[in-house]
């Protein structure tokens, strides 16, 4: 049974229903214990103190209370306390006074050891005394009055009596604890008991069923008593191993915080308790209280990559551990802090009053993070951006809550406000696109994403200067989808990072296959502005290159002009890391942003791609022709390579060649091809040129057009 007040260690408010209940239970328990002890005579005390069985039994009750058997999914407060077996055995064998004293001593010892508040210790002792008292009344009803001088050893015909004793203990104990929980949580007793009643029935059936065997062993010899404990030890050790394995599966190895899997479970439980996504009524603490909500925060550390780059990853790991400690000590009792990976954390508020209350918790988190940190002799400040989403205001389930908290977090990061609550006005996602997001999440697991490859051809001599990898999604119902149909929604969510890492892995795998065959072609992939906020992007690429034994020149990243001009402060760290790694950078869609000559000169790029919107109107629009010619001359002056996108006919290709454009790509040269056709394309070009392939692959213009 869930322990009352298990999330708080403070006394209930004086005069509250919970306070009155605690006071009544403690008073009745003390009275029952005093009445039982009053009937204990001098001979009983001598027999109690002189019999080693009672000393052994008392030790087992204390140990059983201190070391509950915790199965996976349970906690110390909800685990099975084996003291139940020994205290019932003491009741059957020597009567209520002995059992009550031993169990109360164990409850007080355990409470002091765990630092529980006095009111909790007193309630636990009273709860056990009253439960044992109810069982003693059953024995008395059948004329059974055990004592230390006249112990009772049940026989086979006494099993119905023992069953009633166990039922009385179970009903009283569960009712008392359940009532305390119901009053503390302000819910009905039925709801409090429903949480783990089947488990409690099963556990008490096993523990109470062993009590008569313990009595028989006690009656024969004190030496037999420890033998009964051996099964408990085996179960305890096995449960401990299971709990450790479960903890490893549900917690982050570095910080010890819950991971995404446990976060999902706890969020779904919180939603279910508040009415759930099925449309049930939401929980109210009382008729006068407002409807409660579930809050989910997504928190991302700002400029964390600078720590890793400056002080190294070991220091970065220590910083993450410090952040985890600060976050867990800044939330309310009962809230859950989880680490999703990298420098991303999530905070679950199982109940929160409204948006203002959620903002207060988020502000407290940011305030805790902002305290100066000193590691390895370096002092620096930490900041984090927090996005907030609430159930049921913003989403009906965990996945949408996380996605919308993610949208809010990136708005907080972009606007530099620090904390933002999700707003549909800033979310471009329609219901249909949100459904597509769910399909996309499953597509990553099923391997439905694939790459198509389109060559970039040198206009002067037909030499292949690279292959651009274009992402496609083979949707099981809608067929092959282009990136414009799913990447805009993914770019606002945590899925974008996973998609980018998947694309990097697929592109490097294909590059490895080509380079092993002697087709030493450079593969280009597109990265978004959100990708450049990923501090692990450069590290992921570096690890991929090393694992596949590829040089950095085998990969090129295409970055849009808007990214580098719109988020220079956020993206500069990742761009610098990629440049240091030796990965070539290409400025994509040039002409659609606002790059100045000075800024273009400062960017660490080797290639500029002229946007297809200008190229396609090249032959019909004099203004666009002037723009393209100016861009080609500007790029050439800076010593960069110019590449025209969207070349669809020979006339456009010839005009670009006359302008001095270095390279081009488009349907005139080749349609995007799958890996098999692209490999055949490369082999054909190398064979036509008669070259071994170690100096780059050459094509005879015009290259074949493959659908």
Give pLDDT tens digits for 64-91: 777 766 554 545 455 567 788 888 888 8
Does 34 reside within a domain? yes
Q: And the tokens for 112?
A: 């002091």
What per-residue confidence (pLDDT) applies to 218? Answer: 81
Element (H, E) at 294: strand 293-301
Percentage above 70 pLDDT, the chain: 80
For the entire predicted model, the pTM comes to 0.45
What per-residue confidence (pLDDT) applies to 651? Answer: 92
Rounded to 5 degrees, what angle do the CA atoms 560, 407, 469 make?
35
List Cβ neighbours of 609 (8 Å cut-off, separation of 6 or more): 558, 586, 587, 588, 589, 590, 643, 644, 645
Same domain (yes/no): 172, 306: no
Same domain (yes/no): 420, 445: no
Tell me what the mean pLDDT of segment 531-560 comes to: 87
Same domain (yes/no): 214, 293: no
Count of structural domains, the chain: 3
For 471-506, the DSSP string reads: EEEEETTTEEE-GGGTHHHHTTSTHHHHHHHHHHHH
Please determine, for residue 572, whether its predicted confidence score (pLDDT) is greater than 80: no
Same domain (yes/no): 216, 94: yes
Q: How far apart are CA 107 and CA 176, in angstroms?
A: 15
Q: And the tokens for 214?
A: 């313990």
Does 575 reside within a domain? yes
What per-residue confidence (pLDDT) applies to 56? Answer: 79
Strand partners, 472: 450
> Domain containing 607: what range?
434-689
Tell me the helices (H) and strands (E) count for the chain, helix number first.
28, 16
What per-residue confidence (pLDDT) applies to 601? Answer: 64
Same domain (yes/no): 140, 39: yes
* Confidence tier at 377 by pLDDT (50, 70, 90): low
Burial of 147 (0-12, 13-18, 19+ CB in 10 A): buried
Q: Is the peptide bond before 151 cis (omega within 30 degrees of 0)?
A: no
Does 706 reside within a domain? no
Phi and psi, residue 124, nearest 5°: -60, -45
Out of 395, 427, 459, pick the residue that ends a domain.
427
The gap from C-alpha 644 to its chain's centroid, in whole angstroms, comes to 43
Same domain (yes/no): 546, 680: yes
Does 91 reside within a domain? yes
Same domain (yes/no): 460, 411: no
Same domain (yes/no): 269, 148: no
Same domain (yes/no): 450, 527: yes
For 320-369, the DSSP string reads: HHHHHHHHHTTSPTT-EEEEEETTEEEEEEEEES-HHHHHHHHHHHHHHH
Q: Which has more confidence, 259 or 690?
A: 259
User: For the stretch 557-578, what's the b/e string if a residue is b when 16 or more beta carbons lie within 10 angstroms of its beta carbon?
Assistant: bbbbbbbbbebeebbebbbebb
Q: How far apart are CA 232 and CA 206, in angstroms?
A: 11
Q: How far apart are CA 575 and CA 532, in angstroms?
A: 7
Out of 409, 427, 445, pick the residue that ends a domain.
427
């Amino acid at each position: 049974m869930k322990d009352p007040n298990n999330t708080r260690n403070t006394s209930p408010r004086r005069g509250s229903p919970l306070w009155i209940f605690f006071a009544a239970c403690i008073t009745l328990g003390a009275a029952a214990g005093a009445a039982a002890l009053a009937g204990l005579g001098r001979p009983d005390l001598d027999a109690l103190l002189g019999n080693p069985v009672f000393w052994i039994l008392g030790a087992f009750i204390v140990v059983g209370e201190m070391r509950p058997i915790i199965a996976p999914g349970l906690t110390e407060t909800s685990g099975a306390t084996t003291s139940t077996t020994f205290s019932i055995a003491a009741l059957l064998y020597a009567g209520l006074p002995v059992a009550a004293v031993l169990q109360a001593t164990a409850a007080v010892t355990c409470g002091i050891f765990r630092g529980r508040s006095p009111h909790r210790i007193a309630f636990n002792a009273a709860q056990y005394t009253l439960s044992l008292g109810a069982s003693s009344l059953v024995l008395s009803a059948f004329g059974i009055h055990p004592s230390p001088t006249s112990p009772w050893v049940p026989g086979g015909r006494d099993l119905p009596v023992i069953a009633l004793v166990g039922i009385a203990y179970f009903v009283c104990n569960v009712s008392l604890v359940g009532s305390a929980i119901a009053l503390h949580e302000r819910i009905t007793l039925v709801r409090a008991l429903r949480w783990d009643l089947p488990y409690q029935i099963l556990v008490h059936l096993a523990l109470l069923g062993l009590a008569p065997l313990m009595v028989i062993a006690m009656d024969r010899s004190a030496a037999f008593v420890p033998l009964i404990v051996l099964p408990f030890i085996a179960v305890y050790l096995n449960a401990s191993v299971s709990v450790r394995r479960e903890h490893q599966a549900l917690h982050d190895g570095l910080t010890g915080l819950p991971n995404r899997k446990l976060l999902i479970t706890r969020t779904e439980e919180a939603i279910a308790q508040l009415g759930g996504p099925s449309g049930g009524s939401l929980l109210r603490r009382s008729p006068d209280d407002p409807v409660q909500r579930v809050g989910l925060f997504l928190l991302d550390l700002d400029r964390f990559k600078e720590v890793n780059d400056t002080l190294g990853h070991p220091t970065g790991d220590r910083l993450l551990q410090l952040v985890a400690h600060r976050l867990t000590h800044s939330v309310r009792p009962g809230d859950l802090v989880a680490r999703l990976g990298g420098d991303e954390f999530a905070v679950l508020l199982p109940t929160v009053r409204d948006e203002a209350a959620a903002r207060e918790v988020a502000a407290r988190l940011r305030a805790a993070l902002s305290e100066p940190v000193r590691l390895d002799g370096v002092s620096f400040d930490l900041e984090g951006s927090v996005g907030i989403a609430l159930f049921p205001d913003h989403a009906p389930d965990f996945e949408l809550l996380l996605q919308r908290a993610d949208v809010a977090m990136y708005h907080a990061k972009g606007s530099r406000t620090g904390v933002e609550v999700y707003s549909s006005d800033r979310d471009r996602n329609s219901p249909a696109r949100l459904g597509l997001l769910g399909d996309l999440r499953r597509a990553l697991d099923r391997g439905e994403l694939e790459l198509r490859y389109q060559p970039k051809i040198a206009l002067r001599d037909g030499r292949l200067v690279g292959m651009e990898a274009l992402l496609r999604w083979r949707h099981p119902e809608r067929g092959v989808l282009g990136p414009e149909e799913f990447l805009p929604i993914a770019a606002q969510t945590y899925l974008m990072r996973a998609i980018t890492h998947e694309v990097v892995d697929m592109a490097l795998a294909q590059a490895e296959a080509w380079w092993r065959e002697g087709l030493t072609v450079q593969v280009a992939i597109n990265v978004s502005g959100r990708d450049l906020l990923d501090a692990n992007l450069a590290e992921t690429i570096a690890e991929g290159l090393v694992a596949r034994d590829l040089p950095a020149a085998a990969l090129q990243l295409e970055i849009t002009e808007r990214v580098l001009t719109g988020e220079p402060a956020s993206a500069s760290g990742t761009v610098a890391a990629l440049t240091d790694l030796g990965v070539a950078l290409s400025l994509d869609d040039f002409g659609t942003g606002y790059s100045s000559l000075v800024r273009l000169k400062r960017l660490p790029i080797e290639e500029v791609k002229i946007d297809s919107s200008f190229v396609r109107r090249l032959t019909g629009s004099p203004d666009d022709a002037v723009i393209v010619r100016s861009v080609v001359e500007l790029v050439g002056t800076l010593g960069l390579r110019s590449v025209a996108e969207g070349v669809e006919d020979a006339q456009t290709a010839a005009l670009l060649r006359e302008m001095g454009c270095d390279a081009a790509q488009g349907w005139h040269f080749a349609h995007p091809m799958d890996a098999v056709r692209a490999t055949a394309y490369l082999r054909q070009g190398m064979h036509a040129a008669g070259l071994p392939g170690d100096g780059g692959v050459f094509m005879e213009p015009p290259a074949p057009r493959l659908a």
